[in-house]
Amino acid sequence: KKREKTKTLTDTNDLGKARSRVPRGCDSHHHHQRRVSRQQQRQQIARAQEQQKEGEGRTMLPTTASKGRGAARSAPPLFGPYLRRIVKWQQMDIEYTFWQMVHLCTSPKVVYQHTKYHKQTKNQWARDDPAFIVILILFLVFATSAYCAAFGESAPHAALTIISVVFVHFLFAGLVLATLCWFLTNSYLREEPNSHVVEQRVEWLYAFDVHCNSFFPAFVILYVLQYFLSPLLIAHGFLPALLSNLLFMVAISYYHYLNFLGYDVLPFLDRTTFFLYPIGLVIILSPLMILIGFNPTRYFLSLYFR
């Protein structure tokens, strides 16, 4: 009996010791788990705060105070790649350029619809391909050479005439007109800025693109068509003056109409009908020029050819 009691007491003591050991181990284990879980919670909270800040940065649009600087940082570089591609003929899209030239004479709105797609894909309104300007300059050189050959000018005088047409009539006049339109649109024709809308401005290179687009149909009328009609247009009389004035009226009016389309496609501009006003002035002046017998074809050809 004593041995059984002793054994029972021993088993009881062992069980008590085992029980006393288990809570201590469990307590340390639970304490470690709680500490790890707190650290994980802190990390999750920190991550959530960072994601919230990033989400606010992505979803909240910049205000007027910061949108100018943000737009300046994110604005794509225009002139660098543009100028580099001028000397790389293989990088120019010649087929698309001819497509644009044809549709500028037939369906100009289609061309500016593609300008919207270009903005969505390239994040800029201006062309990044100088092919249009390069081909237009080549056309000017060929057309002016044809005039020089038809009127029997010497080679030095022909070279001077070509340089004058390309660099004065096209490039210099284009730079002046593009800068003027760029200044007017950004200063007076933009919609009132909204604090929740990113500020947008007309790119200078886009203003020059609009001039080039508008110039091409005028080139077809006043350089190509006028060349074939020049034997009739340079004659004296009422009919040559009438036809010449009509030719110039159509060319100048269409130039300003395309100018209007080029700026009307920009969603942040208002009152773009301003660019149609010169058409009214041309329509008023043309009958007066006809009545006084002024022949613009004879006048402009006399500036270059004897």
Closest residue by Cα to residue 145 from 226, 248, 223: 223
Q: pLDDT value at position 188? A: 92
Task: Decide: 239 and 229 in contact? Cβ < 8 Å.
Answer: no
- Mean of the pLDDT values across residues 264-271? 92
- Per the model's pLDDT, the better-predicted residue between 73 and 148 turns out to be 148
CB count, 10 Å around CB of 211?
25
Where do the structural domains in the chain lie, given as residue ranges? 86-304
The predicted-structure confidence for 188-239, as pLDDT tens digits, reads as follows: 998 876 655 677 899 999 999 999 999 999 999 999 999 999 999 999 999 9
Q: Residue 16 — pLDDT band, cuts 50, 70, 90?
A: low
If phi > 0 it is left, if psi is from -120 to 50 it is alpha, else beta; for residue 237 that is: left
Q: pLDDT value at position 117? A: 87
Distance from first CA to last CA of the chain, Å, rounded?
147
Q: How many residues does the chain have?
A: 306
Q: pLDDT value at position 172? A: 96
How is 275-294 classified by DSSP, letter by letter? GGHHHHHHHHHHHHHHHTT-
Q: pLDDT value at position 42? A: 59
- Per the model's pLDDT, the better-predicted residue between 66 and 296 turns out to be 296
Q: Residue 61 — pLDDT band, cuts 50, 70, 90?
A: very low
Q: pLDDT value at position 85? A: 67
CB count, 10 Å around CB of 149?
10
Tokens, residue 61: 């649009």
In this predicted structure, the answer to whether residue 75 has a pLDDT above a threshold of 60 is: no
Q: Does the predicted model carry a pTM greater than 0.75?
A: no
On the CB side of 171, how many CA atoms lie within 13 Å of its CA?
13
Q: Which residues contact 86 (CB under 8 A, 6 or more apart)?
A: 130, 134
Q: pLDDT value at position 90? A: 74
Only one residue has tokens 């470690």, namely 32
Q: Which residues contact 181 (CB under 8 A, 6 or more apart)?
A: 202, 207, 210, 211, 259, 263, 275
